Amino acid sequence: MTRTAIITGSTSGIGLGIAEAFAAEGFNIMLNGFGDADEIEATRAELDAKSAGTVAYNGADMTKPDQIEQLVLQTEEQFGAVDILVNNAGIQHVAPIEEFPISKWDAIIAINMSSAFHTIRAALPGMKKRGFGRIINIASAHGLVASPYKSAYVTAKHGIVGLTKTIALEAAQDGVTVNAVCPGYVLTPLVEGQVADTAKARGITEDEVKNDVMLKAQPTKEFVTVEQLGAVCVFLSTEAAASVTGVSMPVDGGWVAQ
């Protein structure tokens, strides 16, 4: 039987890396995210060609509960089930709280935290009915520890950790596991852009930004890779991980061990 995974925010970055890992294992995949329509279709077609399963796309806006519900319904209608739900969609904004735009706060809470509530609420009944489900919430090291100037992001990711524990307890006897993956810094294209911008703003080299700013908190001094995160998510979706639930798993080069 081919399992089906929804991965939110999967048209680029961490989400796309997770989708690639699931495609390599032959899952059906429902991609989701924003971007250029032609580029998204090219990504979908490439993943579809790599996977023994089928790769589809739904452009649900993760700030819109009705669109999130339709994302789950479309996946169930097309593939018969949502077996794995990976809540990955997220945005970021950095500013002192007294300067933090209210609109940015609202958007980050909606996309990074509330969207996971809405997807789980829609997908969990079917998982319980079938006696199988894997819910994986992509939190962050910032779901376990804080950094300044990231009030909305840290709040949302701490909320994701709490949501993970709560739903894990609610679904513990239904064959459904719920876990959070907490990455440290990942060198995605978005972060690459931040490296260049930070280097210019501070008058330092890009290597200095990576080593002295971004990787300052990561004892390994190595960025987490999307391939590593994808492999962790695939593992959490297996029968071997059936007793792993309610866990917030750091994949952070030792960040939160300090």
- For position 83, what pLDDT does the model report? 98
Q: Is the pLDDT of residue 175 over 90?
A: yes
DSSP secondary structure of 101-152: -HHHHHHHIIIIIIHHHHHHHHHHHHHHHHT-EEEEEE--GGGTS--TT-HH
The candidate with the shortest Cα–Cα distance to 10, out of 67, 75, 55, is 55
Report the share of the chain in percent with pLDDT over 90.
90
Q: What confidence category does residue 128 fall into, taking pLDDT thresholds of 50, 70 and 90?
A: very high
Q: What confidence category does residue 213 fall into, taking pLDDT thresholds of 50, 70 and 90?
A: confident
Q: What confidence category does residue 190 fall into, taking pLDDT thresholds of 50, 70 and 90?
A: confident
- For position 227, what pLDDT does the model report? 97
The model's pLDDT over 40-52, given as tens digits with 9 standing for 90+, comes to 999 999 999 999 9
Round the average pLDDT of the chain to a whole number and report it: 96
**92 vs 159, more confident:** 159
d(CA 96, CA 112): 19
Q: What confidence category does residue 250 fall into, taking pLDDT thresholds of 50, 70 and 90?
A: very high
Mean pLDDT, range 227-251, rounded to an integer: 98
Q: What confidence category does residue 80 fall into, taking pLDDT thresholds of 50, 70 and 90?
A: very high
Report the share of the chain in percent with pLDDT over 70.
100
Mean pLDDT, range 75-96, rounded to an integer: 96
- For position 232, what pLDDT does the model report? 98
Q: Strands 55-58 and 84-87: what pairing?
A: unpaired
- For position 197, what pLDDT does the model report? 79
Q: Compute, in degrees rounded to 10, the torsion defined by CA atoms 152, 143, 192, 8.
A: -80
Q: What confidence category does residue 168 fall into, taking pLDDT thresholds of 50, 70 and 90?
A: very high
pTM above 0.85, yes or no: yes
Mean pLDDT, range 69-78, rounded to an integer: 98
Mean pLDDT, range 83-101, rounded to an integer: 95
d(CA 7, CA 77): 16
d(CA 41, CA 173): 39
- For position 192, what pLDDT does the model report? 84
Which residues are catalytically annotated? 153
Please name each of the domains of the chain with its CATH number: 4-185+225-257 (3.40.50.720), 187-223 (no CATH)
The candidate with the shortest Cα–Cα distance to 56, out of 23, 24, 89, is 23
Q: What confidence category does residue 198 fall into, taking pLDDT thresholds of 50, 70 and 90?
A: confident
